[in-house]
Amino acid sequence: MISSTQIGCIGEGLVAAHLLMASDGRLSPFRPIADDAGVDLLIVDKLTRRSLSLQVKSRAGIDAGGTVQFDVRRETFISAPDAFLLAVLLDLTVGAVACSWIVPMTDLEGIAQPGSLTIVPSPKETSRDRYTPYRCHSIAEVCRRLTTALETRCSH
């Protein structure tokens, strides 16, 4: 059985590879030696030379209630305006991202469960929960949102 740590590593690897492909090489993901600051991937835009921090949370299954729970530890919570949470639901049978949510860290506390940094979005196409504006139907959409953030919000 694949452990949650292994699922996390698989998710980070898939996200990095898919961002490279979806951006046609424009977005270049780097892994830090240690991710103790909540940075799983540093995304560098080769066109603008700007970067942003990405925390990737991965799950491989839907909960009994039809949602997916992603927990962000408060110790690694980043409130920088250029940081994002990318929560991904993996389909391990085909090695792909089935659904994802890209959340600016500045928005996380406002949409998380009360008293925590936990989000529980529904991956259903018909869901209209508070996470719907953050849901992406493809890695290409994640790529577009990150590229827009790099072009408009990031300054380093």
- Report pLDDT for 3: 95
Residue 153 has what pLDDT?
64
Model confidence pLDDT, tens digit, residues 108-121? 999 999 999 999 99
Q: How confident is the model at residue 70 (pLDDT cuts 50, 70, 90)?
A: very high
Does residue 17 register a pLDDT over 90? Answer: yes
Give me the long-range contacts of 12-16 (CB less than 8 A, separation at least 24).
Answer: 12/40, 12/41, 12/56, 12/58, 14/88, 14/90, 14/95, 14/96, 14/97, 15/41, 15/54, 15/56, 15/86, 15/88, 15/97, 15/139, 16/41
The CATH code for residues 4-152 is 3.40.1350.10
